[in-house]
């Protein structure tokens, strides 16, 4: 018997009047850029990108803590209270709602939190200064952040069917926000601000973290977008006096460095180019190598399920086969059927030499955090239809499974991918055999895990938190326990995922325990 227990204690005290306020010299425009002006002259279009990067790195003189180490001390939330003040006293301006909101309390599920414009899960790691860099953070409503999650920035009707669009993005966001399954658009008056924040982040952290803005899948670690839409927003929503004042204050009071794209907007085109266009009849930018045909039918409810919504929790390939899922989103009965296959994906379709089993969603649906699975002892195990070919069988020498539903075009909408035979293979191979597969394009950004071969695997990572955090934990191989000779027999009646917002105010204690 092994028992794994995780204990998390979080404590935060915030005040609007931080003690021991610091100030940084050399933040006036001519002083800050003096070395570059001396080397390259006054025309920003002649400024070397590496020189500007070095400047904003070397002058990043204060790395804020996520939470203050002393009562009333500086941290990222205190900085945002100062930098993003509302138009009335003791308020902040929320990015996606575009309203004033009480500045305190902050950081819990009922108030506002730090919005990572470049998501942590897309490479802005917790271990780097990017976690609390004020140039790439904004206050946002905690409940909105759960829905916005790690979506790319863009507008509806570009990389997704227009029919999948929600306007406004949620019931709580401003009227001129929108979202679909791939993009999220902030209010129009903030779009240029968001774009310039992301240009800064890409320049500042490209060398240290490998961050890169792009339009083209597969979106590898550190890549974010959509670049072309950000370039358009930069042109359409020019730098305002408020944005310039924030840049001044960020340098003078909080970090000691500036966002050069606020000071010299012409640097954006110089470093990032011109916006690309969508290829006619596709949802793909012209510079991307593999155009994707636009959907031909209106979305059905299957389209509402996103990659990562139904992760695997435990897999036993030692007989009898068992796979248990813990969804991170509600699965309504109207979805009808979910499909699980161990067949290989070639890049354009399934190989067709292995089998598929079908799960009939119960009338009451499946709630987020409620398990269901295939195999003896699994919840809702009686809801499965066996593969009539009899070819579905988890290979003890390694295999992969995909869970998907079928969209309005009767094409697979992949929700999750799991390999217990090492890394995914390349697309277009002549033969994948029965233990290898390519990874579908829609799962290359989020929603899949590839583990070294072992017969049986159990997820042992975080099970409470924001959906984005749970997915990041799920996709970390260190959060898995795998064995060859031992099946994982676990009591699923008390297991569950809890999808919440981050708790960073007051004291929270989360104790997680697995026994097997």
Supply the DSSP string of 250-300, one letter for each residue.
IIIIIIS---HHHH-TTHHHHHH-----BPTTBSSBTTSSS--BPPSS---
Angle between helix axes 49-58 and 188-209 (nearest 10 degrees) is 90
Taking residues 188-197, report their average pLDDT. Answer: 99
pLDDT tens for each residue of 97-111: 999 999 999 987 778
CA–CA separation, 388 and 111 (whole Å): 52
Closest by CA to 244, choosing from 233, 222, 257, 259, is 259
Contact 401, 312 (CB under 8 A): yes
CA–CA separation, 136 and 228 (whole Å): 19
DSSP designation for 426: P
Radius of gyration of the chain (CA): 24
pLDDT tens for each residue of 298-348: 668 898 899 999 999 999 999 999 999 999 999 999 999 999 999 999 988
The first and second tokens of residue 242, run together, are 């408020």
CA atoms within 13 A on the CB side of 508: 17
- Cis peptide bond prior to 218, omega within 30° of 0: yes
DSSP designation for 142: H
Closest by CA to 296, choosing from 165, 163, 443, 440, is 163
* pLDDT given at position 67: 83
* pLDDT given at position 504: 32
What φ, ψ does residue 318 adopt, rounded to 5°?
Answer: -65, 130
DSSP designation for 512: E
Whole-structure pTM value: 0.63
CA–CA separation, 508 and 498 (whole Å): 14
CA–CA separation, 322 and 362 (whole Å): 19
Domains of the chain by residue range: 14-272, 301-515
% the chain with pLDDT above 70: 89
pLDDT tens for each residue of 161-184: 888 899 999 999 999 999 988 899
Contact 315, 420 (CB under 8 A): yes
CA–CA separation, 94 and 85 (whole Å): 9
Q: Which of 11-20, 74-83, 245-254, 482-491 has the lowest mean pLDDT?
A: 11-20
In sequence order, the β-bridge partners of residue 140 are 113
pLDDT tens for each residue of 365-422: 999 989 999 999 899 999 999 887 778 999 988 999 999 999 887 889 999 999 999 9
Residue of 110 and 50 predicted with greater confidence: 50
Contact 12, 107 (CB under 8 A): yes
How much is the mean pLDDT over the chain?
Answer: 87
H or E element: which one contains 209?
A: helix 188-209
The first and second tokens of residue 488, run together, are 């994982």
CA 460 to chain centre: 21
Closest by CA to 77, choosing from 14, 131, 140, is 14
Q: How confident is the model at residue 21 (pLDDT cuts 50, 70, 90)?
A: low
Taking residues 8-26, report their average pLDDT. Answer: 51
């Amino acid at each position: 018997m092994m028992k794994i227990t995780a204990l998390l204690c979080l404590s935060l005290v915030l005040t609007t009047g931080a003690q021991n306020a610091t100030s940084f010299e050399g933040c006036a425009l001519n002083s800050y850029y003096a070395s570059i002006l001396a080397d390259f002259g006054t025309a920003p279009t002649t400024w070397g990108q590496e020189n500007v990067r070095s400047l904003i790195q070397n002058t990043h003189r204060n790395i804020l803590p996520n939470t203050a180490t002393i009562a009333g001390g500086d941290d990222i939330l205190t900085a945002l209270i100062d930098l993003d003040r509302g138009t009335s006293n003791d308020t902040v301006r929320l990015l996606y709602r575009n309203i004033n909101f009480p500045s305190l309390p902050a950081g819990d599920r009922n108030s506002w939190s730090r919005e990572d414009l470049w998501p942590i899960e897309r490479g802005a790691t917790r271990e780097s200064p990017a976690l609390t860099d004020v140039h790439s953070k904004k206050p946002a409503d905690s409940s909105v952040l759960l829905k916005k999650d790690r979506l790319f920035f863009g507008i509806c009707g570009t990389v997704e069917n227009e029919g999948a669009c929600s306007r406004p993005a949620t019931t709580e966001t401003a009227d001129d926000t929108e979202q679909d399954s791939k993009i999220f658009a902030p209010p129009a008056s903030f779009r240029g601000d968001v774009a310039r924040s992301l240009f800064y982040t890409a320049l500042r952290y490209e060398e240290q973290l490998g961050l890169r803005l792009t339009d083209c899948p597969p979106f590898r670690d550190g890549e974010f977008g959509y670049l072309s839409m950000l370039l358009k927003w930069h042109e359409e929503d020019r730098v305002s006096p408020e944005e310039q004042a924030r840049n001044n204050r960020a340098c003078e009071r909080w970090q000691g460095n500036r966002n050069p794209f606020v000071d010299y907007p012409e640097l954006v085109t110089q470093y990032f180019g011109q916006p690309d266009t969508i290829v006619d009849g596709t949802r793909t930018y012209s510079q991307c190598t593999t155009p994707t045909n636009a959907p031909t039918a209106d979305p059905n409810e299957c389209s509402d399920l996103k990659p990562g919504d139904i992760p695997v929790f435990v897999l036993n390939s030692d007989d009898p086969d068992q796979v248990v899922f813990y969804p991170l989103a509600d699965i309504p009965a109207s979805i009808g059927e979910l499909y699980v296959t161990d067949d290989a994906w070639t890049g354009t379709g399934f190989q067709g030499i292995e089998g598929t089993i079908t799960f009939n969603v119960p009338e009451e649906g499946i709630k987020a955090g409620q398990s269901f699975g295939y195999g003896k002892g699994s919840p809702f195990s009686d809801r499965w239809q066996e593969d009539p070919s009899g070819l579905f069988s988890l290979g003890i020498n390694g295999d992969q499974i995909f869970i998907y539903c079928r969209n309005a075009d009767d094409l697979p909408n992949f929700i999750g991918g799991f390999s217990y035979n090492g890394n995914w293979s390349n697309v277009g191979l002549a033969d994948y055999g029965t233990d290898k597969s390519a990874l579908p394009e829609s799962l290359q950004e989020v929603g899949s895990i590839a583990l070294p071969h072992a017969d049986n695997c159990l997820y042992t990572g975080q099970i409470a938190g924001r959906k984005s955090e749970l997915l990041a934990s799920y996709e970390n191989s260190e959060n898995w326990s795998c064995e060859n000779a031992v099946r994982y027999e676990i009591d699923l009646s008390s297991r569950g995922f809890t999808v919440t917002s981050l708790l960073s105010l007051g004291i929270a204690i989360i104790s997680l325990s697995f026994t097997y």
